[in-house]
Amino acid sequence: MKKQEIFNIFAQNKSNRIIEGESSGILNWDDIRLPQMYKLYRVLIGNHWIPSEIPMNVDKSDFPMLPTNTQNTFKRIIGLLAVLDSMQTMFVGDVREYLTDSSLEAVAAIIGQQEVIHNQSYSYVLSSLVSYTEQLEIFEYWKNDPILLKRNLFIRDAYQAFRESPSPETFFKALVADMVLEGIFFYAAFAFFYNLARDQKMLATSQMISYIQRDENQHCYFFAELYKQLLIDFPQLNIEQNKTFVYNFMDEAVRHETEWAEYVLDGIEGIDLDEFRGYIRHIANNRLRLMGLPAAYEGVSNSMPWIRPFSDEALNDTLTDQFEAKPRTYTKASQDNDWDDL
C-alpha cells in the first residue's frame, strides 16, 4: 500500500479514496470529501481535557478505605487500560500514514493525541494512589496475567498484521479490531468505575474515565465511518466472507470481555455479572449497527443505562464543587453531538 505523499502537485485537495487514493495532501476543511469529518473534528477539539487539572485528593483518601478485592480490581483495570491506550496511539499513527485524505489524517492526528492523554491519566491516577514501585508493577501486569495477555494479543495480532504488511485486506481487519478495542474492551472498566461513583467513591478517577468514554465514543464513530467508506472505495472487500469475519471477531471479543469481567468484577458489590453478560452483547449490537450491519444478538437491551459519560451539568453540579476543581471551559461543541449514546 502506498503512503500519502507530503504533497502531490498533480492531485486535487479533495481525495478520491480513503486509502490508495489521490489527494494533494493539503487540508482545506471547506473542500473535503466526507463533510461529517469537520463536525467530528470540532467535537473532538471541544472535548479536550487534561488529567492533571482534576485534583486527586479525595480519591487519595478513598482508596485505602476500599475493600482489598476492589483495590486489586482497580489496579488490574488500570493495568489493562494503559495497554489499550498505548496500543491505540501506535495504531492510529500507522493508519495516518496511509490515509490519502487530509481531513481523515487530521482527525486521526487529534485522536492519536487523545490516546496519549488517556495514558497520562493512568500514570497520574496511579502516582497519586500507590507507591512508585507499585505503579511500575501495575504497568507490567499485562505481561504476566494470562487473561489480560490473551485479550490484548487478540487485538495486537490484527494491528501488527497491518503494520507488517499494509493492504486493504489487513486494513479492513485492523478496523474491525479497532471497533473492538475502543467499543467493547473498555466496558468492564466503565462498569467498575461508574459503580464506584454511584457509591460516591473514587469520583476523580471516574470523572477521567467518563471523559475517556466520551472520547472513545467519537473514536468509534470515526473508525466506523472509515470501515463503511472502505467498503465503498473497495467493493471487492464487501463480500460475505468478510461479513462472517466481522461477526466471528465480534463474538470472540464479547467472549473475551465477558471472561475478563468474570475475572475482575466477581465479588464487586453492586455489579451483577449476569446483567453485564447481556449488556456487553447489547454494546456489540450497537457497534455492528454503527458499522452498517445488522445486530448479532437478540433479546438484549441496555440493562446498565448508568454506564454512560457523565453530563457536564452533572459534573459541574456535584464533582466540581466537591473537588473545587477549575470549571471546565473547553467544551463548546459537544452539546450538538449525536454520537454520545452510541
Cβ-based nearer residue to Zn ion, 76 or 118: 118
Q: Is 333 exposed, middle or buried (0-12, 13-18, 19+ CB in 10 A)?
A: middle
Question: Torsion angle of alpha carbons 342, 17, 31, 12, nearest 10°?
Answer: 170
Residue 219 is a binding residue for Zn ion (CB under 5 A): yes
What is the nearest approach in angstroms of Zn ion to the Cβ of residue 227?
15
Residue 178 is a binding residue for Zn ion (CB under 5 A): no
Cβ-based nearer residue to Zn ion, 216 or 257: 216
Report the C-alpha gap between 49 and 329 in whole angstroms.
Answer: 9
Neighbouring-strand partners of residue 99: 19
Report the C-alpha gap between 111 and 45 in whole angstroms.
Answer: 10
Residue 96 is a binding residue for Zn ion (CB under 5 A): no
Q: Are 104 and 230 in contact (CB under 8 A)?
A: no
DSSP, collapsed to helix, strand or coil, labels residue 144 as: helix
What is the nearest approach in angstroms of Zn ion to the Cβ of residue 111?
6
Residue 115 is a binding residue for Zn ion (CB under 5 A): yes
Q: Please identify which residue in the block is written with the cell numbers 467498575.
A: 192
List binders of Zn ion among 14-73 (CB under 5 A): none
Cβ-based nearer residue to Zn ion, 85 or 101: 85
159 is a catalytic site residue: no
Residue 287 is a binding residue for Zn ion (CB under 5 A): no
Residue 225 is a binding residue for Zn ion (CB under 5 A): no
Cβ-based nearer residue to Zn ion, 182 or 257: 182
- Half-sphere exposure of residue 220, counting CA atoms within 13 Å on the CB side? 28
Residue 118 is a binding residue for Zn ion (CB under 5 A): yes
Among 101, 182, 225, 257, contact with Zn ion (rule: CB under 5 A)? 182
What is the nearest approach in angstroms of Zn ion to the Cβ of residue 36?
18
Pick the catalytic residue: 41, 98, 122, 211? 122
Residue 85 is a binding residue for Zn ion (CB under 5 A): yes
What is the nearest approach in angstroms of Zn ion to the Cβ of residue 3?
23
Report the C-alpha gap between 318 and 316 in whole angstroms.
Answer: 6
Compute CA 61 distance to the chain's CA centroid, rounded to the nearest angstrom. Answer: 29
> Which residues are CB-contacts of 208 (< 8 A; sequence separation ≥ 6)?
51, 54, 121, 125
User: Which residue lies nearest Zn ion, judged by its C-beta?
Assistant: 219
Cβ-based nearer residue to Zn ion, 103 or 217: 217
Active site residues: 122
Interface with Zn ion (CB under 5 A):
85, 115, 118, 182, 216, 219
